[in-house]
Chain A
Amino acid sequence: MPAIVQLEDIHKVYGSGEVPVHAVRGVSLEIGAGEFVAIMGASGSGKSTLMNLLGCLDRPTKGRYLLSGADVSGLDRNQLADLRNQQLGFVFQGFNLLARTTARENVELPMLYGRRRFASREIRGRALRSLDIVGLTDRADHFPSQLSGGQQQRVAIARALINEPQILLADEPTGNLDSKTAVEIMGVFQKLNDAGITIVMITHELDIARYCQRNLVMRDGRLVSDVPVGDRLRAPAELQRILAAEAKAMLTA
């Protein structure tokens, strides 16, 4: 399995004031193509900072970051923006969709900022295909305010997928969702992962982490644990179980 992400002794220090914050203190990590990794840790453990570094939203203070074998630690703002546009997809806890902009137009957004120009028909077609992957074709013309939380997050996933990135980065994607919807979203992720996309996800929920293949734990800016998931959960089965439990609760009520 070739490594798609290679971190070599990555450090990140914030603030040039009197008390610099050493958020990430020497993380070395390899993530192979096709992996599904969960990063866990208490707040302040540096997991969000690590995620920003992985997502090329930020540059490491020290260390090397190889993305698909290419060193990206020294790139400038615009080169990083192009990387985010072409190779990375983002899913956030708060969905971060543009309000008063339809689902389809939200999904199209990364294509508009690509360095390659596409015909508007091509953009539209790819947006609809992307929405199809997350099962929301029929909601293409809805505004975010007309969609449920789970649907909004699916739109966000469709947006992350439109430029066919190698890696999907998700920052607590289920944090704002109820447990059943969370399982549905994990189902979407598992399906994408099965199709070959590498996924790195932050979560603080242990049972959500069990849908992944590999769990990393951070504490005080360092990786303290890196274990494969033994009893991995599959979303369809879990969903079945939840539905059955709901039905049973209805019957007894």
Chain B
Amino acid sequence: MRFLNVIKVALRALRRNALRSVLTALGIIIGVAAVIAMVSIGNGAKSQVEASIASLGQNIISVFPGNFTTGGVRGGFGSASSLTVEDAQAIRREVAGIAALSPEMHDRAQVLANGLNWNTSIRGEDVSYLDIRLWGLSEGDMFTELDVRSAAKVCVIGKTVAMQLFPDADPIGQSLRIRNIPFKITGVLVGKGFNFFGQDQDDTVIIPYTSHIRRIARRPNLNSILIQAQTPGQMARVQQDVTDLLQQRRNGREPDFTVRNQQELAEAATATTKTMTVLLGAIAGVSLIVGGIGIMNIMLVSVTERTREIGIRLAVGAHGRDVLTQFLVEAIILSVMGGALGVLLGVGASQLVSKLNNWPVLVSPAAIFGAVAFSAAIGVFFGFYPARKAARLDPIEALRYE
């Protein structure tokens, strides 16, 4: 039988029980829609995490102090005060392939200005910090090399701090007091929002690291060193060179520092969302299989109902293969149409979710293609048994069937 005819006959058979066909396909529709919606939401979350990691800057390597143990009490990660400005300068001097470097200090303090006060994070950084973090200023300027060298009392402030301390005044040129020391505000940073740890990145005051060491923290040790490699390809080597250099500078003592790169951080952060996406997709996939069983069920009913028709076709010369093809095509049409409707529903649902909840949603063509291919495969798989049952009917028995 010609293929066009097979499709015509299959469509006619499906139309004859239109409601039943739609209800049968509903299993696949819901399954495919669920897979697409879940994977889209998962991918959206993943891309958001990736974007937030990218916003930390490119090709970043961080050096942290190691842990500090005294009298058997282990202080935990970063507790040692072993990282010095000299370490940072040595790295800058001796390691090739570094685009920028910023020694980092970090503290929290109460900040006063404009008759208001606010507890915020005080970061000591080098001038290149904003370039490394791909961060810009909405107003004013960054402090200068000279400010860093002279440990000047200047700062740039995050958007949140600006809003809290200067709700209706221009902060540029004003001063704020950190631990009773006045700092002149030279710039306001562009809003960067929350990072993927849920911290408000705009709730910060950035001052030269030299000023931080001398005036705020009053200790010589750095909290970390932020390094940017020139290219992604150089990251591994730079990381190794930094490790070797610092080790060498410690003259064979136990290593009291840790060198990490952004890649590790990104992998750890995306691993969670990846697991989540796979899990959601798998659960939705189960509903696809349930839909497939629904198709098998209805195809079995259909074969029984149409036993006489099968008998007629066999009597006038249809081969078993012709009957098999016909029922298989019917099952595939059911599942593929279900798949197509499911794609529409799934894409629609993900858009709706993204609108209503303000979640990032990423509809991937791979998910769409995969879901449709999978539903066709389900049609073949679950349609095969009923179709084979039909093809193996005895023409005499089938003709006699009431």
Contact = CB atoms under 8 A, between A and B. Distances in A.
A81 interface: yes
A113 B396 contact: no
Interface string A49-88: 0001001011000000000000000000110011011100
Contact of A81 (B1, B309, B311, B314): B314
Interface stretch (B52-60, B317-325, B348-356): B317-325
A96 interface: yes
A113 B322 CA distance: 8
Given A57-B315, A78-B320, A100-B12, A112 B308 contact: no
Interface residues of B, number: 22
Given A77-B320, A78-B319, A78-B320, A92 B399 contact: yes
B366 interface: no
A160 to B, nearest CB: 8
Nearest to A92: B399
Contact of B16 (A58, A82, A100, A109): A100
Interface in B287-334: 308-309, 311-322
A121 interface: no
Contacts of A149: none
A96 B317 contact: no
B396 A85 contact: no
Contacts of A109: 312-313, 316
Contacts of B318: 81, 113
Contacts of B16: 100
B320 A113 contact: no
A211 interface: no
B312 A98 contact: yes
Interface in A71-128: 77-78, 81-82, 84-86, 90, 92, 96-98, 100-101, 109-110, 112-114, 117
A55 B395 CA distance: 11
B320 A86 contact: no
A47 to B, nearest CB: 14
Interface residues of A, number: 25
Nearest to A96: B312
Contacts of B316: 84-85, 90, 109-110, 113, 159
A149 to B, nearest CB: 17
Contacts, number: 55
Contacts of A110: 316-317
A52 B396 CA distance: 8
A113 to B, nearest CB: 4
B2 interface: yes
A81 B309 CA distance: 15
B5 interface: yes
Contact of A96 (B2, B308, B321, B396): B308
A81 B317 contact: yes
A77 B393 CA distance: 11
Contacts of A58: 396
Nearest to A51: B396
Given A96-B312, A100-B12, A112-B1, A84 B396 contact: no
A82 B308 CA distance: 19
Contacts of A101: 12
A117 B322 CA distance: 14
Nearest to A97: B312
23 contacts: A52-B396, A57-B395, A57-B396, A77-B319, A77-B320, A78-B321, A81-B317, A81-B319, A82-B317, A85-B317, A86-B317, A90-B315, A96-B308, A96-B312, A96-B399, A97-B312, A100-B16, A109-B312, A109-B313, A112-B5, A113-B313, A113-B317, A114-B317
Closest A-B pairs by Cβ, 3 of them:
A85-B317, A110-B316, A113-B317
Interface of A: 52, 55, 57-58, 77-78, 81-82, 84-86, 90, 92, 96-98, 100-101, 109-110, 112-114, 117, 159
Given A57-B395, A96-B315, A113-B317, 20 more contacts: A52-B396, A55-B315, A57-B315, A57-B399, A77-B319, A77-B320, A78-B321, A81-B318, A86-B317, A90-B316, A92-B399, A96-B311, A96-B399, A100-B16, A101-B12, A109-B313, A112-B2, A113-B316, A113-B319, A113-B322
Interface of B: 1-2, 5, 12, 16, 308-309, 311-322, 395-396, 399
